Structure 1
Amino acid sequence: MSAMKVSRNPSDLFHSSKEFYTIRDNFETLHDVSQSIKSAGVNNCGLIFGIDYTISNRMQGQKTFGGRSLHDTSGPQLNPYQQVICILGETIEELNDDGKIPVYGFGDVNTKDKSIFPLKADGMCDGFSEVLDVYNSMTPKTQLSGPTNFAPLIEKAVQIVKETRKYHILVIVADGQVTDEKINADAIVEASNWPLSIVVIGVGDGPWDNMHNFDDGLPQRSFDNFQFVEFHETIAGAKNAYAALALRALMEIPEQFRFIKDHAILKKRDESLA
């Protein structure tokens, strides 16, 4: 099947009613989405990476990871978090203009659902190869806890956007539902006022009900800023797991960035703070 061409007509790109529009998944190949990202002008982008250290990771691999903890780093097989880091390192890293990636954990025994912690205490990681190294070093000594809350991480990402005054992609790798849907929904809605795309990659068995609601709902948002990707479903049976995951993770980025640029979101936020 030939790749679907991207229409420039807003009524073709989105589906919804009145003011809020959810972005359709318009691409069939990684090459097409990469070309669209370039043509949209995404050439000065920052990446932020978040990792879920809630205790549910111990049980969420019953169907998808042989009953092992999703954070198990002891076996010969890469765990799902390691796989996601490796795949994104091969595909999404080229979007990052300076190669520096702040990486945060949440849901451990110290932060619980109240805050986040940097995996690399003395600064940002230099590319995804160091993200993997730091993950491998920190994970065995990180005590899992919870509950699950994305809001502190999303708020930190908004803070980074404010400070750097440039477009960022926040990638969150998580194992299931958030505990308080309203708090997280409010954080996502607020983040839509800033040049920030949020991509959540769900690892483990799920369920994923509120992830789908965040993806397709929340009409209070300024734009559709949230993309959910179910990791195991996406790579199952794929001829090229790297390309399949990257395609799903990135396919909304071109239209999100066009919306941010066309509606001068960063400029408007600067003016409101002046």
Structure 2
Amino acid sequence: MLPYEILLNIFFSCKNLANKDILSKSDPMIELYMNDTFIGRTEKVKNNLNPSFSTPIKVTYNFEKLQNLTIKIIDVDNDNNNTGDNLGNVKTTLGELVSQEPGTAFTLPVNDGKGTISMTYEEIIPSIRKTLTSDYVALGNGLVTQEVKKGSSYKIVVDKFIINAKGIDLEKKDLFGKSDPYYYIYRLIGGNKILIYKSEIIKSNLNPIWKTTEIYTENLDTNCFSQGQKYWIEVYDYDKYGSDDLIGEVELEDLFYEISPDGQEFRGELTDKSRKNKYKKRGEIVLNITHTVNIKEETVNSYKVISNYTFAKNLKAYPNLQSTVSFIDAMKMGMKLNVICAVDYTSSNGSMHDVVAHTMNPYQTALSAVGQVLEPYDHDKKFSFLGYGGHKNGEFPPYFTVGETEQVDGGIQGILETYARTRDMIKMGDMGTAKGGDMDWRANNGKYYCDDFYQIINAISDKAENDMMTKFPPGSHQLPSDYYIIFFVIDGDGFDMDGTIRALVRASSLPVSIVLIGVGDGSFANLSKFDADGMPLTVDEVSTIRDIVQFVKFNECKTDGTVDMIKLAAEVLAEIPTQVETFIGLYGCNIVNNV
């Protein structure tokens, strides 16, 4: 979840409103209701049929909820209770407003009146977001994680700086012993210090030699390689029972600029300007820094995922990838959300796929609950609709289009109609092996059981990867033009754990989020593992770099036997804004993409 709530200010203006006053023009005011609850009102603008209201109305934005808006326009006759003649109204959703084309107002015709109303919005930026920084930013030209085929070769590049540091004649800070020194290296940017490295503590030593450390270039900002970049070195004395004492500090320059394999020495005299004798020498620190680049080529003997960055290997916890560019910023900068629906047609579903008039089966309910929330964000209201685990047209592929084409017009209603219309055309599959596609190299030992769904993840990842490499390549810091949300409605549990985790590891470094809704009475032991909130998933020694999966059991969203569709959607969609922001943070996306 986001570490803050999203608050928006909505601004309103109108044109060509109806005139309800005889001797003058209308005095319009806006009232805003969300899901029939009063939220706020603007000021009254006197004698004006084309008002621009200066008072915004503040709302709390929840991506995971369908937030219906009703905008009422009132010609105020009584200032005491803000009542008057009705000039019309407009109905829309907050999602439709947020997903508008960047730089354009959201304009709609006024119902039960005349004229138009236009809306714009801005995010109220909390102070906490101004301080968010990513632990890691992928600065190179390669994806953080990627797949490689059996028999293919790839290059492993190890580009690193090696630092050997020592202190000379450090100041004695302990009354009954010597100092226990350690040091920090910070990069200076503006008035801020960005931590690069903290050393270990050397006990009771005024001439410490700290252990050799390696800093990989992938973990350094590109400014570190520029001439003139300044750094701040602080040396402290560790105290077991109190606060650590500053021994001294010094500013150095160009620590990582054009360093050769032969290395370069940097020396600095330590001072403490907070003390009375602020220019007194408190010792000296010496950094010997070398730069090495090793490239080797490796041929793989089986399909696997690799990482081009060491920070994505064998993770025990997800890194902080938050950035100052928010989900709302991304939407305003033109990022589009693409929705992909995927349905399980395996025979274990039994009657859950039965289509009965005037009622909804679990698949229809789940598709409707999630789809109606996502629909306002899909820019062309065309959802991709895929199925797996079933036979279509006499074939048993790893996945297939449910309708005649992958994309279905008409948003979620089009999906529901296509699902019902094609139900008898798709034969539910048993536990046999699906055939075709790229099973010969992506599946585990060439076997792909119909309960497995990761080939759909790989298919969407193929699109997302192609987008990245052609439209907003890694290292360009451009915002993705398209972000993909795949939501599965599943009865099975997935059998090929390694195959699924490989697909998730790969997708975690792409603009992709995944929603899993488990229908039926199964335990979903494997599906619940894929929703790895606390511990990254790892295979081939490479980990999911972002938490991109949200899983919920359909039956746990029932109240008195009836599915709570609002709760179901909220459970599986609440983390989408965070997932978008962590992708932005991972690649440092802060440039508008005009592709």
Q: Would the TM-score normalized by the shorter structure come out above 0.5?
A: yes
**Alpha-carbon distance in 2 for matches of 1:224, 1:106:** 24
More helix by share: 1
SS at 2:423's partner residue?
helix
CA RMSD of aligned residues (A): 3.1
Instruction: Note if 1:20 corresponds to 2:317.
Output: yes
Counterparts of 2:581 and 2:424, CA distance in 1: 41
How many angstroms does 1:18 deviate by? 6.0
Matches within 5 A, 1:87-236: 87-109=369-391, 112=396, 115-126=398-409, 127-146=411-430, 147-165=450-468, 166-216=482-532, 217=535, 218-219=537-538, 220-236=543-559
Give the whole-Å Cα distance in 2 for the aligned partners of 1:239 and 1:40. 36
SS in 1 for 2:390: coil
Secondary structure of the structure 2 residue equivalent to 1:169: strand
Partners of 2:425 and 2:486 in 1: CA distance: 25
Distance 1:265 1:117, change over 3 A: farther
Gapped regions of structure 1 (runs ≥ 5) = 11-16, 24-35, 59-68, 268-274
Provide the aligned length of Structure 1 versus Structure 2. Answer: 237
Cα-to-partner distance string for 1:155-202 (whole Å, 9 max, x where unaligned): 111122234452110111101311222211221111112110010111
1:23-102 equivalent positions in 2, closer than 5 A: 38=328, 41=331, 43-58=335-350, 69-74=351-356, 76-102=358-384
Is the contact between residue 22 and residue 224 of structure 1 (CA under 8 Å) also seen in structure 2? no
The 1:249/1:37 distance shift into structure 2, 3 A limit, reads farther
- State the alpha-carbon separation in 2 of the partners of residues 101 and 41 from structure 1: 19
Equivalent position to 2:585, from 248, 252, 262: 262
Q: Deviations over 1:216-252 (max 9, x none)?
A: 2515101111110111212335998222111111111
SS of the residue corresponding to residue 84 of structure 1 reads helix
Change (3 A) 1:51 1:261: same
User: How far, CA to CA, are the matches of 1:91 and 1:209 in structure 2?
Assistant: 27
Identical amino acids, percent of aligned pairs:
29
**Contact 1:92/1:246 (CA < 8 Å) preserved in 2?**
no
Match of 1:243 in 2: 566
More off after superposition, 158-167 vs 212-221: 158-167
Query: How far off its partner does 1:22 sit?
Result: 9.0
Q: What is the CA distance between 1:124 and its match in structure 2?
A: 0.9
Preserved CA contact (<8 Å) 1:194 1:266: no
CA–CA separation in structure 2 for the residues paired with 1:98 and 1:238: 35
Larger radius of gyration: 2
TM-score w.r.t. structure 2 length?
0.37
The one-letter amino acid of 2:317's match is F
The answer for the alignment partner of 1:66 in structure 2 is none
CA contact (8 A) 1:195 1:266 kept: no
Question: In 1, distance between residues paired with 2:508 and 2:575?
Answer: 14
The AA in structure 1 aligned to 2:484 is H
C-alpha deviation, 1:103, in angstroms: 0.6
Query: Which stretch shifts more, 40-49 or 128-137?
Result: 40-49
Relative to its length, the structure with more strand (as a share) is: 2
Query: For each residue in 1:119-166, what CA deviation from the matched residue of structure 2 results, as whole angstroms up to 9, or x when unmatched?
Result: 122341121111011100111221101430111111111122234452
Q: Distance in 1 between matches of 2:563 and 2:365?
A: 13
